[in-house]
């Protein structure tokens, strides 16, 4: 139905819910790689397909109310960093400057979180030429974990995005940062992928503050070879508290 562009969205949604156990079996079975899953379940890697699977898996429904709520939360994160940032010459200052010049606010908030936690932006954003299509991308240079392929020199101003999982471009048709970002984040859950240690704090902040997934125990962060493993990163808890208590004034 999807491949033939069937317009009966409700029927497709019902079928996606009914086949959810089969989707999970194929994802969790091990032998099938992402390319095979993409071939067997192409609608899963589209915006609506991912939302349906993510809701069945986590209980979080990404609808218009969710998107309005997340927009408000990201705006608050951005305002907090605007308030605490005093050095325009540093990386955070540069991000804020480009945002004020017309850059995407949600993208800026994510970049500022990565900068705040001193984590590797290149693990989440991979830049290619603004005219590139999926066939032009050297996927061997992509991280194995979910990432955004940014068609342009900065995710703040890019017009097109692709999403990659396991070094496979799974969707190349996003013109919105927020849509591409949602699919990328949801991919960690749908494909049962641990957060890489290089972005553990940023992704956990997004999980708990933006997507409101707050398990009582356990963590999606890949285990470190050394050092203590926290159920909840103390730095994440600290920033969530600071932003919650922050009052924005013009």
Is position 232 within any domain? yes
Report d(CA 120, CA 111) in Å as an integer: 10
Q: Provide the CA 153 distance to its chain's centre, in angstroms.
A: 19
CA dihedral sign, ordered 183, 106, 124, 242: negative
Q: pLDDT tens digits, residue range 117-137? A: 999 999 999 999 999 999 999
SS3 112: helix
Report d(CA 37, CA 45) in Å as an integer: 9
Higher pLDDT, 95 or 148: 148
Is position 125 within any domain? yes
Is position 214 within any domain? yes
Q: Which of 59, 56, 46, 60 is nearest to 22 (CA)?
A: 56
pLDDT computed for residue 65 by the predictor: 87
Is position 50 within any domain? no
Q: pLDDT tens digits, residue range 60-99? A: 999 888 888 888 999 999 999 988 876 777 888 888 888 8
Query: Is 18's pLDDT higher than 90?
Result: yes
Is position 152 within any domain? yes
**Least confident piece of the model among 86-90, 148-152, 186-190:** 86-90
Is position 84 within any domain? yes
Is position 55 within any domain? no
Q: Which of 142, 148, 139 is nearest to 111 (CA)?
A: 148
Domains contained in the chain, number: 1
State how far the alpha carbon of 195 is from the alpha carbons of 44, 48, 53, in Å.
21, 23, 19
- Structure letter (DSSP) for residue 2: T
Task: Mention every residue, 6+ apart, whose C-beta is less than 8 A from residue 83.
Answer: 246, 248
Q: Domain span at residue 125?
A: 64-244
Instruction: Say if CB 157 and CB 175 are below 8 A apart.
Output: no
Q: Which of 40, 25, 66 is nearest to 186 (CA)?
A: 66
Is position 159 within any domain? yes
Task: Report how far apart the first and last C-alpha atoms of the chain are (Å, whole number).
Answer: 51
Q: Which residue has the tokens 């086949």?
A: 19
Report d(CA 95, CA 157) in Å as an integer: 11
């Amino acid at each position: 139905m999807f491949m033939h562009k069937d317009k009966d969205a409700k029927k497709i949604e019902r079928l996606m819910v009914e086949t959810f156990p089969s989707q999970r079996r194929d994802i969790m079975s091990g032998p099938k790689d992402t390319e095979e899953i993409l071939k067997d379940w192409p609608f899963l890697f589209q915006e609506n397909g991912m939302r349906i699977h993510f809701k069945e898996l986590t209980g979080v429904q990404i609808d218009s109310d969710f998107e309005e709520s997340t927009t408000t939360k990201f705006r608050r994160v951005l305002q907090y960093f605007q308030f605490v940032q005093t050095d325009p010459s540093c990386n955070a200052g540069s991000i804020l400057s480009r945002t004020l010049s017309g850059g995407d606010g949600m993208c800026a908030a994510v970049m500022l979180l990565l900068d705040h936690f001193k984590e590797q932006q290149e693990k989440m954003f991979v830049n290619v030429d603004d005219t590139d299509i999926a066939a032009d991308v050297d996927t061997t240079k992509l991280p194995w974990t979910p990432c955004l392929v940014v068609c342009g020199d900065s995710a703040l101003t890019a017009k097109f995005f692709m999403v990659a999982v396991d070094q496979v471009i799974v969707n190349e048709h996003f013109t919105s940062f927020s849509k591409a970002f949602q699919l990328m984040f949801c991919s960690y859950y749908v494909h049962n992928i641990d957060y890489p240690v290089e972005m553990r704090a940023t992704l956990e902040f997004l999980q708990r503050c933006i997507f409101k997934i707050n398990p009582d125990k356990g963590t999606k962060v890949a285990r470190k070879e050394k050092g203590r493993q926290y159920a909840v990163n103390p730095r994440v808890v600290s920033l969530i508290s600071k932003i919650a208590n922050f009052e924005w004034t013009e």
